[in-house]
Amino acid sequence: MREKIVHRATELFLSLGVKSVTMDDIANELGISKKTIYVHFENKTQLVEASTLEVFEIISQGIDAICQLQKDPIEEIYDIKKLVMEHLKDEKSSPYHQLQKYYPKIFSSLRSKQYRLMEDCVADNLKRGITLGLYRDNLEIDIISKLYFTSIRSLKDKQLFPLKHFSMSSLMNHYLEYHVRGICTPKGLKVLTKIINNQN
């Protein structure tokens, strides 16, 4: 039952936002009493934390699976983007922003986990790209990794990029092209152009 509660709560939080969804809403969706939820979670904060962790673990496992395929590094970046967007919808409900505002401790913990995951993934991607001649060989991997993580995070800033003007999918596509163009060789640019053309 605990897993069912977390799974349904996660879907609701992503679709409607963590602030909008009440424990009553979750109970009604599952056809159970609110008391049943409280058997497994003392309060909504605990449930939000469990839901956040579930999404992170699913995405983390998906990213690990993609990285293990050792695909073309540029293709790998776009595969990871696709995976993340599928799990986070289009973020119209701003769950990331709401988490930051209403559950700052959970948000801070999530951000640290995201950084550790992305740091290893991006660094490995950059090293392989350099080895394959797709990325410039004078890249400072540590700096580029941090710039990448910081930039991806800034795309979620609703003051900078309000959802009524910018969809997350469009922002991600523009940023990834910007990122790859900045680090790739002429050989890498051919791969990027092919990927972009296939998306259209």
How do residues 90-115 score in pLDDT, each as one tens digit?
455 577 778 888 999 999 999 898 88
User: How many other CB atoms are there within 10 angstroms of residue 47's CB atom?
Assistant: 24
Q: pLDDT tens digits, residue range 22-77? A: 999 999 999 999 999 999 999 999 999 999 999 999 999 999 999 889 889 999 99
The domains found in the chain, sorted by start residue, are 2-199 (1.10.357.10)
Of 124, 125, 119, 181, nearest to 152 by C-alpha is: 119
Query: What predicted TM-score, i.e. pTM, was given to this entire model?
Result: 0.86
- How far is Cα 80 from Cα 51, in angstroms, rounded to an integer? 21
The span from the CA of 105 to the CA of 126, in Å, is 31
